[in-house]
A and B are shown apart, each in its own frame.
Chain A
Amino acid sequence: MTRERLQVLSVSSLQKIAASQGILNFRDYLKDDLIDVIIEAFAEARIDHLTENNWTIISEEKKFDIFRDEVLPTPAYKTYQVPEKYNITRISLIMVDPLMAFVCWDLADEIMAEAEMIHDNALFLRVHETHLDTSESTFFDIPVQLSDDKWYINLPSHGSSYYIEIILNTSEGERSVCSSNKIESPLRITRDIQNNSKMFQDDFLILAGVYGFYDDESGSNSQKIVSFLDTGTIDREA
C-alpha cells in the first residue's frame, strides 16, 4: 500500500492497519507519523516475506544450524578490539539494490578538528547522479553528524551512475574532502518486454522459466516477473 493510498484513509482505518501490523501505542501518533510507521512496518514485513520465500537462502542456512543457542547457554566467544577511527580520509560507496546504496567513510583527525570548530551542518554528503541514457547530471546533499561513519542512501533513479563527495562547510565556503568510487544502479526492467505485444510476453514468460506462474488477464507481465523474482512465489503445477 502506497503513502498516497494511506493518506486518503481515516485515522481510525489507519489505526486498524497499525494494530494489524503489531505497531504498539498506535493511538499516540498523529496521522502523518502513523503513516510513516505503517510504511516502515510494511517494509519490514516485505523483507521477512522475501526471506521466507528464498529457498536458496533457507537451504544455505540449514548447514550452519547444528546447535541451539537460543534458549540454552551460548558458547563464550572471545572479543577482539577493532579501532573506532583510523585517522585517514576515505569513503566507499556500495550498491545494495537499484534503489539503495551504502556509504561508509573515515575522516582524518585534522579534518574532524576543523569540522568541530564549525557549529552547524559542518559536514554533508553530496550525492552526484548522472543518468546513463541522457548524461544529465544532478546532485543532492545529506547533512551528517561528526559521529556518523556510515549512511544508507535512497537512490532516486534506476539506470544512473552515482558517486558521493564529503563536503566540509567552512566559513570560506564548501570544500570537498574526498570522493567515493562510482556505482551504476541497474535498470531493473525487462527492456524488450516494455510495450510489446501479449504474444511476446507469453513467449518471454516461457523463456524466463516463469510460464504459468501468473494468469495475465490484466496488468503488466513485466511487473509480475519482477514480483515473481522478488518473492519466488511459485505454482508447482505450472
Chain B
Amino acid sequence: MHRGYLIFELTCHLPYVKHINERYPEENWLNEAICNTYLPMLRSLRSLDADSIPFKLTLTISPTLVAMLSDPILQDNFVSFMNERIELGKKEVHRTESTPNMHTVAKTYLQELEQNLRDFTELYGCDLVAAFNDLRKKNHINIITTFATHCYMPFYSACEKNIEAQIYTAMNAHSKAFNCNPSGFWLPELGYYPGIEKILKSYRLDYFFTAVHAFLFGSHVPRNGIYAPVNVSGSDVFAFCRDLASSAFVLSADHGYPGDFDYRDFELDMGYDMPDSYIGSNPYGKGIRLDTGFRYYANTGIEGVKNIYDFKAAAEKVEFHADNFIYNLKKRVKKLLRYTDRPPVIVCPYDAQVFGHWWYEGIKWMETVIRKIADDEDLSLIFPDEYLFAYKNNESIDLSYSSLGNGGYSGLWLNGDNDWAYRHIHVIIEKMEELAGRFPSERGLKGRALNHAARELLLAQSSDWAFMMKNGTSAPYANMRVQEHIHNFLKIYNDLSSNSVDTEWLTTVERQNSAFPDIDYRVFT
C-alpha cells in the first residue's frame, strides 16, 4: 500500500467554434490545441504504454471538444492548418541557416509538425476521440464529462430544466463518443452550489471536484481536511477538493516551473516580427497577425536579453522539476499522515492546454513525473473511483457555494463586462420551456427547429464567453457569439409562434452549429 495518492485531472475543453461562411481567427483555438497539446500528449501517453509504465490520469473531455474533434469539416481544417504550418516551417529552416542555434530550433519544430500531421492522419485516421478512448480501454485514463457547453451552473441553479438539458445532453454525447458512462463529473470552473449533487446522483455520477472554499466554508471542516473525499450532504455523491499548493508549482506565474529561465518563452512568436509577405496571407483580414508556433527564445530572466532556446538545457530542467514536484508531494504526504486516518489523496487539476500550448515542456514534465512515480514506493497515481472503492467511509458534510474564480466566487463570470447576457439567456430558457410545453412531441421539420433552438440556447451558456468578455481576450468574438445564439434562438421561437419554419435558414445554422446531433428538446418539457 502506498502512503499517499495523487489524482492528476486534466480538463480538455474549448468552446464550440465552427464557421462555414465566415472565417475568424478564433477557429485556430482548436488547431492550436490539437497541434500543441492533444497530439503531443497522446504521443507521450502511448510511449508510456509502450514502455509498460503504469499510469492513471483523469481526463475531462468536454462535450463541445468531443463535438469539434469528431467533426469532418474541422478535421479537414486542421489538416490544412498543419500543411500551412509545415510550409512555413520549411521556410523557417531555410531562413535560419546562417544562425545555427535558431536553425536547430526551426528544424525540430518542423519535425514535430510533420510528426503531428502523420499521427493525425495516418495513426489516428483524424479521430482523436477514438485515440483517447483506446487509452481508456487500456485503463490508463479515466474519461469524465462536464456540462454540455461548459456552463457555469451556479447562475442557472433556479432553472431546473436547463440543468437537466445541459447534463442529459452531455451524458448522451459522452456515451456515444466513448461507449461508456462517465463515473464522475467536472463542474465547469469548479462552480458548485448546494443541491447540484442530487442532479449528479440521478445520473449515477459518483464524484465531482471542488475548490477549497467548498470544503473549508461548509457545514464543518472535514476530519481529513481537503485530503480525502467527502460524502456531499449524505447524498452518496463524493467531492474531491483540489490542492491549491500543488497546483501552484505548475500554474503560478511568478514561482511556477513554466517560468524557468531555460524553458521556452511563450510570448515571442515569429508571427509578429516577420513581414506579411513572408508569413503569407490569412483569411481573417489584412494585417491580422496570428501565432505561428515558431518561438526561438528561452525565458532567460535577464531584462532586455533573450537567449536562443536550448532543448538540452530545457530537458535537464524537466528532470529537475519532476524530481522537485515529487519531493514536495512526498514531504506533504509525510506531514499529512500525522493527521489523516488514511493515506491522503492530493488532487491536482489543470487545464490540459497548460501542457504543450503554454508550457512547451509541460508534456515531457508530466511524462517524467509519471515515470518516476511508477517506481515510487510511497506515492501512486489513482483514479477517483478507485480511491472511493478503497476508502469507503467518507464523512458527510454540506459544501459551500464556491468556484475557482477570483476570491472563490462568481464575479469573474458576472460583472459589468458580461452581465448584459444573463437577462437574455434567462428569458430564452423560459421561452424554450414554453416551446417544449406547446410542442410536446414534434418530429420532422418542427422537431428539427425545436432541437436546434435547444442547441442554440445551450451554446449561448458557455462560461468561456463571459470569461473572455471580462478578460478582454477575444471579447468582441465572445459578444458576437452570445448575440448570435440568442438571435438564432429567437428567430426559431418567432417562426414557430407564427407556425412556420424557415427551412433554408435552419439548414444553414444546423450545418454551422452542428454540435450534439442527438439533442432532444423534450428534455425542457
State the A residues within 8 Å of B (CB). Answer: 47, 50-52, 54-69, 72-83, 86, 88, 90, 92-98, 100, 102, 104-106, 149-150, 181-182, 184-193, 203-204, 206-211, 225, 229-230, 232, 234, 236, 238
Q: How far is the CA of A82 from the CA of B425 in the complex (A)?
A: 11
**B 457-471 binary contact with A (CB < 8 Å = 1; else 0):** 000000010011001
Determine whether the beta carbon of B288 is less than 8 Å from that of A104. no
Residue of A nearest to B228 (CB): A207
Contact of B414 among A69, A90, A94, A234 (CB under 8 A): A94
Q: How far is the CA of A48 from the CA of B226 in the complex (A)?
A: 28
Q: How far is the CA of A75 from the CA of B358 in the complex (A)?
A: 24
Known: A54-B405, A78-B22, A192-B221. A67 touches B212 (CB 8 A): no
Q: Does B422 contact A (CB under 8 A)?
A: yes
Determine whether the beta carbon of B422 is less than 8 Å from that of A82. no
Determine whether the beta carbon of A229 is less than 8 Å from that of B422. no
Known: A211-B335, A238-B245. A66 touches B256 (CB 8 A): no
**B 418-442 binary contact with A (CB < 8 Å = 1; else 0):** 0110111011001000000000000
* Residues of chain B with a CB closer than 8 A to A98's CB: 401, 409
Determine whether the beta carbon of A62 is less than 8 Å from that of B354. yes
Q: Does B361 contact A (CB under 8 A)?
A: no
Determine whether the beta carbon of B213 is less than 8 Å from that of A229. yes
Known: A54-B405, A77-B477. A191 touches B219 (CB 8 A): yes
Determine whether the beta carbon of A58 is less than 8 Å from that of B217. no
Determine whether the beta carbon of B217 is less than 8 Å from that of A57. no
Known: A73-B286, A82-B424. A209 touches B243 (CB 8 A): yes
* Residues of chain A with a CB closer than 8 A to B473's CB: 61, 64-65
* Residues of chain A with a CB closer than 8 A to B222's CB: 207
Q: Which of B23-31, B167-175, B201-209 contacts A (4 or more CB under 8 A)?
A: B23-31
Q: How far is the CA of A160 from the CA of B487 in the complex (A)?
A: 37
Q: Which residues, 469 to 525 on B, are CB-close (under 8 Å) to A?
A: 471, 473-474, 476-477, 479-480, 483-484, 486-487, 490
Known: A57-B412, A104-B423, A186-B400. A77 touches B29 (CB 8 A): no
Determine whether the beta carbon of A193 is less than 8 Å from that of B221. yes
Q: How far is the CA of A49 from the CA of B427 in the complex (A)?
A: 34
Residue of A nearest to B226 (CB): A209
Q: How far is the CA of A58 from the CA of B253 in the complex (A)?
A: 8
Residue of A nearest to B426 (CB): A92
Determine whether the beta carbon of B351 is less than 8 Å from that of A63. yes
Q: How far is the CA of A144 from the CA of B116 in the complex (A)?
A: 58
Q: How far is the CA of A52 from the CA of B290 in the complex (A)?
A: 25
Determine whether the beta carbon of A150 is less than 8 Å from that of B483. no
Known: A191-B220, A209-B244. A50 touches B251 (CB 8 A): no
* Residues of chain B with a CB closer than 8 A to A96's CB: 409-411, 414-415
Q: How far is the CA of A185 from the CA of B409 in the complex (A)?
A: 11
* Residues of chain A with a CB closer than 8 A to B215's CB: 208
Residue of B nearest to A73 (CB): B287
Determine whether the beta carbon of B404 is less than 8 Å from that of A57. yes
Determine whether the beta carbon of A72 is less than 8 Å from that of B289. yes
Q: How far is the CA of A236 from the CA of B353 in the complex (A)?
A: 23
Known: A56-B251, A203-B339. A102 touches B217 (CB 8 A): no
**B 380-409 binary contact with A (CB < 8 Å = 1; else 0):** 000000000000000000001110111111
Determine whether the beta carbon of B468 is less than 8 Å from that of A64. yes
Count chain B residues whose beta carbon lies closer than 8 angstroms to a beta carbon of A.
94
Q: How far is the CA of A208 from the CA of B408 in the complex (A)?
A: 15
Known: A63-B357, A75-B477, A189-B217. 10 other contacts (CB 8 A): A59-B251, A59-B353, A64-B29, A64-B468, A67-B284, A94-B410, A97-B409, A149-B423, A229-B407, A234-B248
Q: How far is the CA of A170 from the CA of B26 in the complex (A)?
A: 51
* Residues of chain A with a CB closer than 8 A to B487's CB: 80-82
Q: Does B311 contact A (CB under 8 A)?
A: no
Determine whether the beta carbon of A55 is less than 8 Å from that of B225. no
Q: How far is the CA of A92 from the CA of B479 in the complex (A)?
A: 21
Contact of B289 among A68, A78, A181 (CB under 8 A): A68
Q: Does B247 contact A (CB under 8 A)?
A: yes
* Residues of chain A with a CB closer than 8 A to B401's CB: 95, 98, 184-186
* Residues of chain B with a CB closer than 8 A to A69's CB: 288, 474, 476
Q: Does B453 contact A (CB under 8 A)?
A: no
* Residues of chain B with a CB closer than 8 A to A189's CB: 217
Contact of A76 among B285, B354, B483 (CB under 8 A): B285
Q: How far is the CA of A81 from the CA of B483 in the complex (A)?
A: 7
* Residues of chain A with a CB closer than 8 A to B409's CB: 95-98
**9 closest A-B pairs by CB:** A207-B225, A55-B251, A97-B409, A181-B158, A50-B406, A104-B423, A80-B487, A80-B483, A63-B353
Nearest chain B CB to A95 CB, angstrom units: 7
Determine whether the beta carbon of B408 is less than 8 Å from that of A229. yes
Q: How far is the CA of A81 from the CA of B415 in the complex (A)?
A: 22
Determine whether the beta carbon of A75 is less than 8 Å from that of B33. no
Determine whether the beta carbon of A64 is less than 8 Å from that of B216. no
Determine whether the beta carbon of B406 is less than 8 Å from that of A55. no
Contact of A207 among B226, B288, B471 (CB under 8 A): B226
* Residues of chain B with a CB closer than 8 A to A76's CB: 285
Determine whether the beta carbon of B256 is less than 8 Å from that of A55. yes
Determine whether the beta carbon of A56 is less than 8 Å from that of B285. no
Contact of B216 among A97, A225, A236 (CB under 8 A): A225
Determine whether the beta carbon of B245 is less than 8 Å from that of A210. yes
Q: How far is the CA of A73 from the CA of B404 in the complex (A)?
A: 33
Q: How far is the CA of A77 from the CA of B291 in the complex (A)?
A: 20
* Residues of chain B with a CB closer than 8 A to A72's CB: 287-289
Contact of A78 among B248, B353, B414, B480 (CB under 8 A): B480
